C-alpha cells in the first residue's frame, strides 16, 4: 500500500484500544482500530500474542491488538471486539492469532494463571503442568483464542510458530533485552 501511514500505540500491557484515522502514535494502549482505508495498524511483540481483527466482508474496520498475559487478564480482546461491534453489530469478525511463545515454553507463576482464570478462561484451556516442573506453563494463545470464541468469533486462523523455538523470530524469553520485535500489520485498501 504505497503512501499508507502507520498507526501504532505505546504498548503498556493494558486494555485500551484507540480508534485512529491516520498514522502516528495514538497514545498508550494495546490496540488500534480504524475504519479509514490506507491506514496501516501495527502492534509489536516478542513473545506476546498479536491478534488482527477484520470486521465485515468486505472489511469496514480492522484492529490490531497486543495481547500479553496482562492484556489477556485485562480483557483487551473483549474490549477490541466490543469496539468493532459498536460499528456494526451484525457483521462477522475474522481473527488471526500471530506467532507467540508456546505454552510448552512459557513457565509462569500462579499469579498469571489466577489473573487469566479470573476472566473466565478455564484453567484446562491454557495451563500445562508438566511432571516435575515447579511452576505451571501458560499458553496465552489458547487463552486468547478462548476469549475470542467467547465473544462469538469462530473464524480464527492461528499461526503455529513459537517465537521461542523459531530462531528467525524474536523472543524476549530466549534473547532477553538484546532482542528486537516482530510487527503485526493490518489495513484496508481504499
pLDDT by residue, tens only, the chain of 190 residues: 677 899 999 999 999 999 999 999 999 999 999 999 999 999 999 999 999 999 999 999 999 999 999 999 999 999 999 999 999 999 999 999 999 999 999 999 999 999 999 999 999 999 999 999 999 999 999 999 999 999 999 999 999 999 999 999 999 999 987 878 999 999 998 7
Q: Where are the domains of the chain?
A: 5-173
What pLDDT shows up at residue 189?
A: 86
pLDDT of the residue at 34: 98
> Whole-angstrom Cα distance, residue 84 to residue 144?
17
Strands 24-28 and 5-10: parallel
What pLDDT does residue 1 have? 64
- Per-residue pLDDT, 190: 75
Query: How is the chain split among helix, strand and coil, in percent rounded to 5?
Result: 25, 35, 45
Residue environment code for 57-67, b if the CB has 16+ CB neighbours within 10 A, otherwise e: eebebbbbbbb
The domain made up of 5-173 is a member of CATH 3.40.50.2300: no
Can the peptide bond before residue 58 be classed as cis, meaning omega within 30 degrees of 0? yes
In this predicted structure, what is the pLDDT of residue 37?
A: 95
List of E strands, 56-132: 61-67, 93-97, 127-128
- What integer pLDDT is reported at residue 180 of this predicted model? 87
Whose CA is closest to 33, among 9, 64, 79? 64
| Residues 165, 178: Cα–Cα separation, whole Å | 17
CB distance 17 to 35 below 8 Å: no
Amino acid at each position: 500500500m504505497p503512501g499508507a501511514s502507520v498507526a501504532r500505540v505505546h504498548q503498556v500491557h493494558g486494555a485500551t484500544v484507540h480508534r485512529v484515522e491516520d498514522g502516528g502514535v495514538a497514545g498508550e494502549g494495546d490496540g488500534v482500530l480504524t475504519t479509514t482505508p490506507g491506514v496501516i495498524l501495527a502492534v509489536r511483540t516478542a513473545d506476546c500474542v498479536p491478534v488482527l481483527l477484520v470486521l465485515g466482508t468486505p472489511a469496514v474496520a480492522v484492529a490490531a491488538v497486543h495481547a500479553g498475559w496482562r492484556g489477556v487478564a485485562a480483557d483487551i480482546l473483549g474490549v477490541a471486539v466490543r469496539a468493532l461491534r459498536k460499528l456494526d453489530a451484525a457483521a462477522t469478525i475474522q481473527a488471526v492469532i500471530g506467532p507467540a511463545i508456546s505454552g510448552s515454553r512459557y513457565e509462569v507463576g500462579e499469579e498469571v494463571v489466577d489473573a487469566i482464570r479470573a476472566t473466565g478462561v478455564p484453567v484446562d484451556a491454557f495451563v500445562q503442568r508438566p511432571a516435575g516442573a515447579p511452576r505451571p506453563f501458560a499458553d496465552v494463545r489458547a487463552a486468547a483464542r478462548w476469549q475470542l470464541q467467547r465473544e462469538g468469533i469462530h473464524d480464527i486462523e492461528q499461526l503455529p510458530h513459537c517465537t521461542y523455538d523459531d530462531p528467525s523470530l524474536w523472543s524476549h524469553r530466549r534473547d532477553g533485552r538484546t532482542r528486537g520485535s516482530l510487527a503485526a500489520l493490518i489495513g484496508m485498501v481504499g
